[in-house]
Amino acid sequence: MDYLCFRALCCKGPPPPRPEYDVVCIGLTGAGKTSLLSRLCSEGSDGIVPTTGISMVVVMPTHFLNIIFITGADSIKKYWSRYYQGSQGVVFILDSASSDEDLEAARNELHSALQHPQLCTLPFLILANHQDKPSARTPNQIKKYFELEPLARGKRWILDGSSTDNMEAVKESFSQFISLLEDKDTEPARI
């Protein structure tokens, strides 16, 4: 009996590999991509500077998400599509407290991404960031303004509010997103 116990403890072998997904993260400058992803990786919020190019981050304790997040600067947006190939999912972060003009620009970028040939069949996590600001629009307001229901019909997507002040909610959003990545037959659209 002792031998069986020893064998069970010592001879289990390596743990099974964690599932790994390649995800692209896009959004306009100032949406909070760098802050949100840095906090998600438990890097803290001290000393975070906006992304000036492209960065790769791995997050989540049970899964590896290789997230390539790309700056939203106008000079770089035209190159976003170069990083779409091989992606298994899309995270789109927008500033829900931005001006009407910036919100319209975010809407146009999201519409382009949802219709892009390399992304149109992938699951989307749309985060309406900066929900902690008084001028933030709710996820329902974003959903209506962005006309997500007709545009994303039949697609797998999640729209959630987010803020660096509530990282538990952000982690839950990413957990739901991982479920979409894992399950090809998931019900589309959740808000």
Residue 166 maps to which CATH number?
3.40.50.300
Range of the domain at 174: 19-182
Confidence of residue 133 (pLDDT cuts 50, 70, 90): very high
In the three-class reduction of DSSP (H, G, I as helix; E, B as strand; rest coil), residue 58 is classed as strand
- The rounded percent of the chain whose pLDDT value lies above 90 is 49
In a domain, 4, yes or no: no
In a domain, 12, yes or no: no
In a domain, 2, yes or no: no
Domain count of the fold of the chain? 1
In a domain, 91, yes or no: yes
Task: Compute the average pLDDT of residues 161-182.
Answer: 93
pLDDT digit string, tens, across residues 1-41:
454 444 455 556 666 677 889 999 999 988 988 888 888 87
In a domain, 10, yes or no: no
In a domain, 1, yes or no: no
Residue 57 makes CB contacts below 8 A (sequence gap 6+) with 37, 38, 40, 41, 65, 66, 67, 69
In a domain, 92, yes or no: yes
Report d(CA 106, CA 13) in Å as an integer.
48
Q: What is the DSSP letter of 15?
A: P
Strands 64-70 and 54-59: antiparallel
